[in-house]
Chain A
Amino acid sequence: MTPEGGETGMWERWTRRREEVLQSDLLPSWYATRRRRRALAGAGLAGLAMIWAGTVVSWNLAPSDTAMWVTISLLAVSVLTTIPVVAALNVATRGTTSLAESRLDERQVAERLRAFTVAHRVMLAVLVAVVAGVLAADTDHVPMAAVVVGVVALFETHMLLPVLVAGWRLPDPPPDDEDDDDENDR
């Protein structure tokens, strides 16, 4: 929002580039079938579970070298798992949960709302489980590392659940006209 509109121009170009990538068929074999999309969503959930496991390890073993290395390893594997999974599911859903609502059509907005609604309910269940876990645990001495990793786990879960839900729910998209033409040419 600079007077020259430079920042707006950069933001516009970035948004357009993102839209182009999301409309491209990047690694289509990863999400071609519902079973594969659900496997991706499952891998994403496993990635999130690793951060929660890191929280539990830090809670019980920190401060110690074992806690530090186990938590760092779990976080590293989680990042390496979730980044490609989220990228593939974002392309599969054509940015339904990541693009601005003004960039989506009415069907995509409806899908986005359903995904956010389900993710909201799942997040509520996660919060209840976290509160129950904390109340049941020994809270005399809570390691700072566990609090930090726990907060990271909460943020990641909150951020990634909508795209995982959207990927899980996505029906097989109809074939493109160009695919139909290719079929006819064969």
Chain B
Amino acid sequence: MADGKADKEHVHNRIAVLRAERGVSRRELATALGVHYQTIGYLERGEYSPSLHLALRIAAFFEVPVEVVFSLAPFPRLGST
């Protein structure tokens, strides 16, 4: 039941891709956002879904709209379209 709820509320993100693309380390991103560096890791692994406030700040950091970083549906793999 709990797992089903977790699956239903899972938010997919592209933080790892954006971070790699911009050459930003987890610690640098964490410092910029004022969170613990492990939180970035948990976000990237999909084990933690951020608050709306943190999601907007992550999008602002990468200077992209929030839907570029977060999605309720899995992001398409590169080259799959």
Interface residues of A, Cβ cutoff 8 Å to B: 94, 104-108, 171, 173-177
Known: A105-B35, A107-B36. A173 touches B51 (CB 8 A): no
User: By the criterion CB–CB under 8 Å, are B27 and A107 in contact?
Assistant: no
Known: A171-B47, A177-B26, A177-B27. A106 touches B41 (CB 8 A): no
Known: A106-B51, A106-B54. A174 touches B34 (CB 8 A): no
Q: How far is the CA of A175 from the CA of B47 in the complex (A)?
A: 14
Contacts across chains A and B counted by CB atoms under 8 Å: 39
Which size bracket describes the interface of B in this complex?
10 to 19
Interface of A is mostly: loop
Q: How far is the CA of A94 from the CA of B54 in the complex (A)?
A: 20
Shortest B7–chain A CB gap in Å is: 16
User: By the criterion CB–CB under 8 Å, are B36 and A174 in contact?
Assistant: no
User: By the criterion CB–CB under 8 Å, are B26 and A107 in contact?
Assistant: no
B 29-52 binary contact with A (CB < 8 Å = 1; else 0):
000001111111110110110110
